[in-house]
Amino acid sequence: MISGESRRLAGVLLVVFPTVIFGGASLLLLLVTQEPGYVDNPIRQDLFRAGHAHAGVILILSLVALRYVDEAALGERTRRLVRLAIPSAAIILPVAFFFSVLSPSSTAPNGVVYLAVVGAVVLATALLTLEVGLIRSPRGTGAD
């Protein structure tokens, strides 16, 4: 059974999802219109594409993980942390990719790209915590 907190967060994530769709349409428009500073800048194209892909995939992962958080043998505070950490990575990682090449004349990412390491650590920690909680959980219950 999914908790009210997980259900509310799932609702928020589904409301946010159209922003990822809008981002994909924006990237497509930049390609179709042959926008200078985008089509002639391979590093910018690659990092914008990576940011968009990470946002979408991690949002979907967040929705899937919510199904399991309430079954994990974790304390309520830890559940809350896991619930929020996974979608937080869906923000941190794309920010690192997008903001590291904001300038159309960028030839290399700036230091903001290292924020991707923070996002990866947040995501990995949350997923490992969820994994341990699920392994420790007696089958069929969410009890501690």
Q: Give the DSSP H/E element, type plus range, for residue 4.
A: helix 4-32
Q: Model pTM?
A: 0.86
**pLDDT score, position 38:** 79
**Secondary structure letter of residue 137 according to DSSP:** S
Let me know: does 86 contact 61? Beta carbons within 8 Å. yes
DSSP-assigned letter for residue 111 = G
Confidence class of residue 140 from pLDDT cuts 50, 70 and 90? low
What integer is the mean pLDDT of 22-41? 85
Quote the DSSP letter at residue 106: -
- What's the whole-number mean pLDDT along residues 105-116? 94
